[in-house]
Chain A
Amino acid sequence: MELTAEIVVFAVFSIITLTGGVGVALTRNLFRSALMLLVSLFGVAGLFVLLAAPFLAAVQVLIYMGAIAILIIFAVMLTRGMVTARRVMNDQWSVAAVVALFLFAVLAVIFVQVGQGESAVLPLNPTGDPPADGTAALGQALLDPAQYVLPFEVAALLLAGVLSGAIYIARDDEPDEPSQTRG
């Protein structure tokens, strides 16, 4: 395997992603942990670029880093006293280790199979190059009645459900407030 620029970039972003992931788990300070999550998400965005999916990379940065990570940081702030954890409070780490190892074994088997070309779902050399304008193709697919238009609309319903959750959270503070006094 020759050392092309692609391999180097892939290695760099993989290291970034893994460092972020490990950092999330190992950092004591919750805020730093959230920041390591951001690092990890950025690494994933880089990997998306390598996979010829720039649209997904931009959406990853825009939504995961720019919105969801912020939401997580806000949630961290909401739990007072948790920000500077001084000791590991979880007693179930042995069970967690077993589950994690099992999951790792399953994933390793799958990846080895894919790497050796034995997987039917993920062939090693997919036919054709990625379309030149991936986003336009994605747009066509999203709204094509034969393809993804139903998930597209269901996504809207899902988002509407999230907004209802927002109402519930906002209401939580003052359960006695009658609704007529509001706008």
Chain B
Amino acid sequence: MHLNEWAFVGVLLAISAILPVVPMVLGWLLGPRKPNPLKSDTYECGIETVGDAWVQFRVQYYVFALVFVVFDVEVALLFPWAVAFGNMGLFAFVAAAVFILLLAVELVYIWRKGALEWM
């Protein structure tokens, strides 16, 4: 049954979640535990912290993530095509080519419009 394949993954997931916990707990137990206010301060290159842990979140981060989502979905749709491509005719190629070219053109468009600049 198909589920049998995934049994390994399930058990591996459980084991690999426990595996790093062991050294971490060991480190917690074996290491010294002398908290003092200076050590627990947030690190800011050795000077006193100023303000909350909130940063000016520039919109570029969001834009790159958004472009990534688009290409991720594109590739997810292309994977079944890649698997089945060997047995399919020229029409499949043309359809996929249209798909890829649409997105390539769009990439060039957003490039030209400057959405891919970091600053």
Partners in one complex: yes
- Which chain A residues border B68 with CB–CB below 8 Å? 67
A122: CB under 8 A from chain B?
A: no
* A residues 140-183 touching B (CB-CB < 8 Å): 140, 142-143, 145, 149, 152-153, 155-157, 159-160, 162-167, 169-173, 179, 182-183
Chain B residues contacting A54 (CB-CB under 8 Å) are 2, 5-6
What chain B residues lie within 8 Å of A68 (beta carbons)? 69
Q: How far is the CB of B57 from chain A (nearest CB, A)?
A: 5
Whether the pair B84, A71 counts as a contact (CB closer than 8 A) is no
Interface residues on B, range: 35 or more
B54 at the interface (CB under 8 A from A): yes
B83 to A: closest C-beta gap in Å: 5
Q: Which residues of A contact B59 (CB under 8 A)?
A: 78, 169-170, 172-173
- Contact of B82 with A167 in the complex, beta carbons under 8 Å: no
Residue from B80, B81, B98, B102 with most neighbouring chain A CB atoms (10 Å) = B80
Contact residues, B100-119 vs A (CB, 8 A): 102-103, 105-107, 109-115, 117
The answer to whether residues A74 and B73 also contact, given A140-B84, A163-B67, A163-B106 and a CB cut-off of 8 A, is no
Complex contacts, B117 vs chain A, CB 8 Å? 170, 182-183
A-B contact pairs, 9 of them (CB 8 A): A62-B76, A139-B79, A142-B77, A149-B95, A153-B98, A157-B102, A163-B109, A164-B110, A169-B63
